[in-house]
Amino acid sequence: MPNSTGRMDEFGWSRTLYRYRTDAAQEAIRDYAAIAKEAGMSLTELSLRWCRQRSLITTTLVGHSNMGQLKESLDYFTKSKPLSEDVMWAIDRVHMRNRLPIFSSSRVGKDWDGEGEIGETIP
């Protein structure tokens, strides 16, 4: 795969991940990053600590390109201090604006017979 840049590039899974490039999804990413910055942590740390703190999440899948990234994620995931209620609430507010990015796609038209770009059902 020449010039591969990651999972969002055109050589890989990009065609199936278009729903994560919607305006709504990009806005949510910016909002989550702002929450992380205000809390004094990286977006990765915010994400992993949020997963750890949610009682109904029993498995968190992570992906790494090197051992340094893995160690960093394990350090974040094992921090004993929970995220504050204010941070958790800020994350929830962003999530409620864009709960299902597939339904936020601006690339779905009424003439698509109820299907998105890759054949998924659109209500």
Give pLDDT tens digits for 99-115: 665 555 555 555 556 56
Which position has the token pair 């709960």? 99
pLDDT at residue 1 greater than cutoff 50: no
Q: Where is average pLDDT lowest: 5-19, 60-74, 87-101?
A: 5-19
What token pair was written down for 112?
Answer: 């698509």
CA 33 to chain centre: 11
- By the 10 Å C-beta count (0-12 exposed, 13-18 middle, 19+ buried), 46 is classed as buried
Give pLDDT tens digits for 49-65: 999 999 888 888 888 88
pLDDT at residue 84 greater than cutoff 80: yes
Give pLDDT tens digits for 24-46: 788 889 999 999 999 999 999 99
Listed in sequence order, the residues at least 6 apart from 79 whose beta carbon sits closer than 8 Å to its beta carbon are 45, 49
Write down the pLDDT at residue 53. 92
CB atoms within 10 A of CB 49: 22
